[in-house]
Amino acid sequence: MDIDRLQTELLRAARADRPSDRVPLAFERRVMARLAERIRRDPWSEWTAAFWRAAMSGGAIALLAVAVNWATPGAVNDLTEDPELFAVADSAPAAAADEPAQDLW
Amino acid sequence: MAPSPLLNPDPSDAEVVAEVLAGDTARFEVLVCRYQPRLFGTARRYARREDEVQDIVQEIFLKAFSKLGSWRADAPFEHWLMRMAVHTCYDFLRSHQRNREHNTTDLSDDESDWLERHAPAPASGGHDAEAARTLVGKVLDKLSPPARLVITLLELEDRSVKEIAALTGWSVPLVKVRAFRARAEMKKILRHIASEKYL
């Protein structure tokens, strides 16, 4: 059996028989009714969709920032690893406590 | 002076789109009436049940309305709408893929007759186009969505590879690759049907 020729013949016959373009009665009214319904509903659905898009984008950016932070070599993740910065941070509350109270006001 | 829409019995697509975008949404009905026969003809190539066809066409118009602002008047409105139609039909095929499994031996009498006449000597015999079309429909139902889309556009609608690329958003080489695979897939299915019938 010649499948190639069978396929060609089948497609040729099918091509010759175009599907109908008949439109059901008052179909345009159905479309316009659905459109009107969608327009009425749209303000809320648009807000909801925008909110979800913003939330997803925010989450994705946060994840990306965390990933970049962890992947960056030499990034200081722990302040105690930097002795100089640690010393400044450690002495700051003590220095503030030594100042006279009126200077704070 | 530009004619008033009320006086113009046959406004251009661009005029109607401008009116709709200006807030007169009821004017969209002009576009629906103008293009619905074309869209029904297209949708019937992808869906067999009439309720599915109507849902597809409705979906195309709803999408077109919501994206009307993205239409650039430098290309014909019909091309823009047809691109949307092809995408909607493709989405339909993908969402209904699992429901389209058929028993290939489940052929009607007409389809069996067509195979009996054409399988032994494909070039001979008359043309029962309706039987051939439904038989092709059954074969197409077995194809993957991209294969079905490309066979329909290329073989049944007789479109060029470039046109298909423009309609689907696929690159020209991708259309060619998918067309090649689709033909091979179709042959495999035909071979299966024929062997079930004659062995």
Q: Tell me the domain boundaries of chain B.
A: 1-100, 102-199
Span B102-199 CATH architecture: Orthogonal Bundle (1.10)
- Cβ contact B70:B53 at 8 Å: no
pLDDT at B1: 40
All residues of chain B having their beta carbon less than 8 Å from the beta carbon of residue A36 are 25
Residue A15 in contact with partner chain B when CB distance is under 8 A:
yes
Out of B26, B41, B123, whose CB is closest to A18? B41
Contacts 24+ apart (CB under 8 A), B119-128: B119/A1, B119/A6, B119/B194, B119/B197, B119/B198, B120/A1, B122/A2, B122/A5, B122/A6, B122/A8, B122/A9, B123/A5, B123/A9, B127/A13, B127/A16, B128/A13
Residue A2 in contact with partner chain B when CB distance is under 8 A:
yes
Given an 8 Å threshold on Cβ–Cβ distance, is A32 in contact with B32?
yes
B125: left (phi over 0), alpha (psi -120 to 50) or beta: left
Contacts 24+ apart (CB under 8 A), B112-119: B112/B197, B114/A13, B115/B193, B115/B194, B115/B197, B118/A6, B118/A9, B118/A10, B119/A1, B119/A6, B119/B194, B119/B197, B119/B198
Out of B132, B183, B187, whose CB is closest to A13? B132
Mean pLDDT of chain B: 83
pTM above 0.95, yes or no: no
SS3 content of chain A, % helix, strand, coil (to 5): 80, 0, 20
Residue with tokens 């019937």: B44
Residue to mutate among A4, A11, A46, with most B CBs inside 10 A, is: A11
pLDDT surpassing 50 at residue A84: yes
Query: CA dist B62 to A27, A46, A89, B57, B88, Å?
Result: 13, 15, 61, 9, 11
Residue A23 in contact with partner chain B when CB distance is under 8 A:
yes
Q: Looking at per-residue confidence, does A75 or B19 come out higher?
A: B19
Cα angle value A51/A52/A56 (rounded, 5°):
120
User: Would you give the DSSP letter of residue B22?
Assistant: T
Span B1-100 CATH architecture: Orthogonal Bundle (1.10)
Query: CA dist A34 to A43, A58, B61, B63, Å?
Result: 15, 33, 10, 12
User: Would you give the DSSP letter of residue B156?
Assistant: I
pLDDT at A87: 65
- Cβ contact A5:B123 at 8 Å: yes
User: How is residue B173 written in tokens?
Assistant: 């080489």
Question: What's the pLDDT tens digit per position in B107-144?
Answer: 666 666 666 666 554 444 445 667 777 787 788 888 99
Q: Is the ipTM of this complex over 0.85?
A: no
Out of B50, B158, B194, whose CB is closest to A1? B194
Q: Which of A3-17, A40-54, B69-83, B169-183 has the lowest mean pLDDT?
A: A40-54
Closest CA to B84 of B43, B28, B25, B48: B43
pLDDT at B82: 95
CA distance B78 to chain A (A): 16
If one counts every other C-beta atom within 10 angstroms of the C-beta of residue B135, the result is 24
Given an 8 Å threshold on Cβ–Cβ distance, is A24 in contact with B132?
no
Residue to mutate among B190, B192, B193, B197, with most A CBs inside 10 A, is: B190
Closest CA to B79 of B152, B161, B168, B157: B168
pLDDT at B98: 63
CA distance A15 to chain B (A): 5
Question: What's the pLDDT tens digit per position in B154-193?
Answer: 998 999 999 999 999 999 999 999 999 999 999 998 888 8
Closest CA to B183 of B191, B172, B195: B191
